[in-house]
Amino acid sequence: MKHCKALLIIVLAVALSACGRFSFFNGQKELALDSIGAEINDSTVFVGLHIFYPTDGPAELVKSVRQYIALELRADTALFADGQALIDGAARQEFERLKAQRSEVMADFELDETDEFDYHPSYETTFDITKLAETDNYLTLNTMSYEFLGGAHGSTFVSGATFSKLTGKQKGWDLLTDTESAAFRQLILRGIRSYFEDGTEEPLSDEDFEGMLQLEHGLAEVPLPQAPPYLMPDGVAFVYQQYEIACYAAGLPSFTISYDDIRPFLSPEAVELIATPQEKK
């Protein structure tokens, strides 16, 4: 649980510090992002969305980032030109979805809103898209969503998305090669271990480490994360979602593999994206 809290604190800190208007430079034209939000709530449902939306810049890059945001929000792509209208529509759609879902639960369990002794669940969705990293070559955004549907606890989802400023395209697993190899899977396993060993006084034994995970084939066959990797200043980052490889209390196992360690598995395009101005000369 401490890892989950630490990750959420970091993400929230990014969100709180990234306010106002940002401009990113791709060598030719600035990409302008506006911070916009929408909230809808009543006594039973709360929806809060906060995103950075591209308003101007290189056409392909603007299009890619807008498509990513619309997909994440399940929003109407016809509203691309008006970010506020898009997020307002997405918030209203989510609010209505939660209201309908809650009404079904109330009916199924024959719960009475007017009975003070009945259980009256409050549903909630929050959604944030913020900037994680930016260079002359790429932009990495972070998506964090939280949903509470009246159960024992809510569900949190965190992922990153990298966009090439050289092509305007969103990148993911195509940043890497040979990910099915034993050598790459060992890198992933080391990253997972570093997450669970963070804050421990002694390294974990293989037995204790395996006991913290919920893997069908144990340490011999570690799965790749469902969420795609993304570029950060110090390396390629990975994140597993709740329950993906461990129990809820384990949080969201996440780690970054340094560029020195992961370089043999970088695609040619990834190498180009992380290249410094000196390396390009």
Tens-digit pLDDT profile for residues 146-190: 999 987 889 999 999 999 999 999 999 999 999 999 999 999 999
Domain total in the chain: 2
CA–CA distance, 8 with 158 (Å, rounded to integer): 9
Question: Are 150 and 232 within one domain?
Answer: no
Helix locations, 109-127, DSSP H:
none
CA–CA distance, 37 with 128 (Å, rounded to integer): 9
Taking residue 131's Cβ as centre, other Cβ atoms within 10 Å add up to 17
Whether 150 is in a domain gets the answer yes
Whether 164 is in a domain gets the answer yes
Q: Does residue 68 or residue 114 have the better pLDDT?
A: 68
pLDDT at 28 over 70: no
Give me 137's structure tokens: 């070559």
Whether 130 is in a domain gets the answer yes
CB-based contact 139:131 (threshold 8 Å): yes
Res 81: pLDDT? 85
pLDDT at 96 over 50: yes
Res 114: pLDDT? 66
Whether 191 is in a domain gets the answer yes
Instruction: Write the CATH number for 230.
Output: 3.90.640.20
Helix locations, the chain, DSSP H:
2-17, 59-73, 83-108, 182-197, 206-212, 259-262, 268-274, 277-280
Please tell me the total number of residues recorded for the chain in this structure: 281
pLDDT at 207 over 80: yes
* Residue at a domain's end among 171, 194, 223: 171
* Residue at a domain's end among 171, 186, 206: 171
Q: What pLDDT band is residue 217 in, cutting at 50, 70 and 90?
A: confident
Res 151: pLDDT? 79
pLDDT at 216 over 70: yes
Res 116: pLDDT? 59
Range of the domain at 187: 175-275
Q: Tell me the average pLDDT of the chain.
A: 86
Res 73: pLDDT? 92
Q: Could you please report the per-residue DSSP string of 226-255?
A: SSPPEEETTEEEEEPPTTTSB-GGG---EE
Whether 281 is in a domain gets the answer no
Q: What pLDDT band is residue 43 in, cutting at 50, 70 and 90?
A: confident
In terms of Cα–Cα distance, which of 77, 74, 73, 5 is closest to 36?
73
Question: Are 269 and 141 within one domain?
Answer: no
Q: What pLDDT band is residue 26 in, cutting at 50, 70 and 90?
A: very low
pLDDT at 233 over 90: yes
In terms of Cα–Cα distance, which of 1, 58, 51, 69 is closest to 24?
58
Question: Are 186 and 266 within one domain?
Answer: yes
Res 10: pLDDT? 43
Rg (CA), the chain: 21
Res 115: pLDDT? 65
